[in-house]
């Protein structure tokens, strides 16, 4: 048997507490499967988001043993063995103290830095507001060609690092700057903006760079690198942010 210590929150009363459930983990059981088991066998009021169950939709990100991760991709057994731990710089959710025994217990909490809605569900409005603010639509530099637009393999390789994002917000949850500054665009939006900036099929100018040329954009990052460490898709927001800053400096521009 093992225990799941789960954060509970009621938006109407503003009250929160932890509930502990004892379950028998099956082979290969994930945190998401364990939450389903709790819903089915103990408490059907437990609220959490999910959809694909296969690390594709990005909806099940939560704080698992104080690390932002996808519940559908995080298996219980390695957690109890203490495997796969990653070292992160202190961030908002990590600092909130709660005791649990990692040898037979898994701690499950909502992503930090985003407003809580119910239990493990957070409000993603601000996350998507920032995403829209960086104009995440392709702006081709030329008229549509007769056939497809061609790209060089090296360009595709560089772009792919950023296009793999599934909008789970794990990076935002782990980011110390997002935790203290609600106006910081955050790693996911900045990674997406950088992806369009380097797209060779867009205009080769500085317009994308200038969209986030402020302390709420590229210059707000403190290079803690938690974003890259927790991203389930290997997206490196910190890399794009660093390169964008270097380019802006080379252009002789100052942050707005
Ligand atoms: S960059 Fe990674 S961690 Fe951040 S939203 Fe995209 S997939 Fe999730
Ligand atoms: S349920 Fe879709 S990513 Fe986990």
Tell how far the Cα of 39 is from the centroid of ligand 2, in angstroms. 17
State residue 145's pLDDT score: 86
Q: Ligand 2: which atom is nearest the Cα of residue 168?
A: 3
Look at ligand 1, atom 7, and give the residue with the nearest C-alpha: 165
Ligand lying nearest the CA atom of residue 124: 1
Show the domains of the chain with their CATH numbers.
2-121 (3.10.20.30), 124-250 (1.10.1060.10)
**Candidate of 30, 58, 69 to mutate for ligand 2, largest count of ligand atoms within 8 Å of Cβ:** 58
Tell how far the Cα of 188 is from the centroid of ligand 1, in angstroms. 6
246-253: long-range contacts (C-beta < 8 A, 24 or more apart)?
Answer: 247/206, 247/209, 248/206, 248/209, 248/213, 248/218, 251/206, 251/209, 253/206, 253/210, 253/213
Tell how far the Cα of 79 is from the centroid of ligand 2, in angstroms. 18
State residue 132's pLDDT score: 94
52-61, 62-71, 92-101: least confident range? 92-101
Tell how far the Cα of 166 is from the centroid of ligand 2, in angstroms. 9
Q: pLDDT-based confidence at 36, cuts 50/70/90?
A: very high
187 or 149, which is more confident: 187
What's the whole-number mean pLDDT along residues 135-164? 90
Q: pLDDT-based confidence at 87, cuts 50/70/90?
A: very high
Our answer on whether the CB atom of 61 is closer than 6 Å to any ligand 2 atom is no
Secondary-structure percent of the chain, ordered helix, strand, coil, rounded to 5? 35, 15, 50
What's the whole-number mean pLDDT along residues 82-101? 88
Our answer on whether the CB atom of 191 is closer than 6 Å to any ligand 1 atom is yes
Q: pLDDT-based confidence at 76, cuts 50/70/90?
A: very high
Counting residues of the chain whose pLDDT is more than 90, the rounded percentage is: 86
What's the whole-number mean pLDDT along residues 163-182? 96
Our answer on whether the CB atom of 236 is closer than 6 Å to any ligand 1 atom is no
What's the whole-number mean pLDDT along residues 59-78? 97
Q: pLDDT-based confidence at 93, cuts 50/70/90?
A: confident
């Amino acid at each position: 048997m093992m225990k799941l210590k789960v954060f509970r929150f009621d938006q109407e009363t503003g009250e929160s507490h932890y509930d502990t459930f004892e379950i028998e983990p099956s082979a290969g059981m994930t945190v998401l499967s364990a939450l389903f088991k709790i819903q089915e066998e103990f408490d059907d009021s437990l609220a959490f988001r999910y959809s694909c169950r296969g690390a594709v939709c990005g909806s099940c990100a939560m704080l698992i043993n104080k690390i932002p991760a996808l519940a559908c991709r995080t298996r219980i057994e390695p957690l109890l063995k203490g495997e796969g731990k990653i070292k992160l710089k202190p961030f908002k959710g990590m600092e909130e103290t709660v005791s649990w025994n990692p040898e037979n217990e898994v701690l499950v909490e909502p992503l930090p830095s985003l407003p809580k809605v119910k239990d493990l569900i957070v409000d993603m409005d601000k996350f998507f507001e920032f995403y829209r603010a960086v104009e995440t639509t392709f702006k081709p530099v030329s008229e549509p060609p007769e056939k497809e637009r061609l790209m060089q393999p090296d360009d595709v390789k560089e772009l792919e690092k950023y296009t793999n994002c599934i909008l789970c917000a794990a990076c935002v949850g782990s980011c110390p700057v997002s935790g203290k500054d609600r106006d910081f665009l955050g790693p996911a939006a900045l990674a997406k903006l950088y992806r369009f900036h380097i797209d060779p099929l867009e205009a080769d100018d500085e317009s994308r760079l200038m969209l986030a040329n402020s302390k709420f954009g590229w210059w707000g990052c403190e290079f803690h690198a938690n974003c890259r460490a927790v991203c389930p898709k290997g997206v490196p927001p910190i890399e794009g942010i660093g390169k964008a800053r270097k380019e802006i400096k080379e252009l002789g521009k100052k942050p707005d």
